[in-house]
Amino acid sequence: MNKQRIDLLVKLGLLAAISLVLVFTLKFSIFPAVAFLEYDFADVPILIATFMFGPLSGLALTAVVSVLQWLLASQAGGWIGAIMHFLSTGAMVLVAGNIYKRMHNLKGAILSLLLGASTMVAVMIPLNLLVTPLYLANMPYSDAQTIVWGLMPFIIAFNAIKAFGNAIITFILYKQVSKVLKIEFINRVNRVQYPEPSPNASKSKSRNMLR
């Protein structure tokens, strides 16, 4: 495994860890009618990874974070929540990542985040209508769908606030985070290519010069 691939995995692991920390520390409800929906910022590191390394890396990170959230942070949501997170965030990642890959400039960043967030909101409508009723296992599926449909205006509003909110935060932070990670990578490469001489080596070189 070459150094660049190892560095990529290290950076993706770091962004995954940040995503999990954000889930544990910063989450809150917005609408009392759908208090089970909590805003968190876990998608921000995933979107930053998507812009830095491409849509496939972003999708892979989405899968890892979804599973880890299920096992460590959101056990109440279970595997259903993990699948919904992967599908919704994955849709945003693929749309935003592919657009930014082809339009690697300010206009492309804005357009990709707007369309990616819109895609996420659109995808969550059928997902919530089809999957969320599974949480209401104590009643017939059709009755559960009726309840979810009645809450749909709140669900759409919540998902719009979350998707576009995280898109705005990503737009603000991406360049700063990218610079920090790239500087660290350059420093690592320099340390490998131009290692600092050991004190013994310096002394030996000095003796040779004096002879």
Q: Whole-angstrom Cα distance, residue 34 to residue 17?
A: 28
Instruction: Say what the pTM is.
Output: 0.80
Q: Is 40 helix (H, G, I), strand (E, B) or coil?
A: strand
| pLDDT, tens digit, 9 for 90 and up, residues 13-42 | 999 999 989 988 888 888 888 888 889 999
List all residues 6 or more positions away from 82 whose beta carbon is below 8 Å from its beta carbon: 66, 67, 69, 70, 74
pLDDT number for residue 174: 87
Q: Which residue type sits at 116?
A: G
Q: Is 68 helix (H, G, I), strand (E, B) or coil?
A: helix
| pLDDT, tens digit, 9 for 90 and up, residues 75-131 | 566 788 889 999 999 999 999 999 999 998 889 999 999 999 999 999 999 999 998
CA-based nearest residue to 140, from 148, 37, 152: 148
**Residue recorded with tokens 């599908």:** 87
Contact (Cβ atoms closer than 8 angstroms) between residue 33 and residue 151 = yes
pLDDT beyond 90 at 169? yes
Joined together, the tokens standing for residue 183 give: 């500087």
Q: Which residue has the higher pLDDT, 6 or 194?
A: 6
Joined together, the tokens standing for residue 206 give: 């000095």
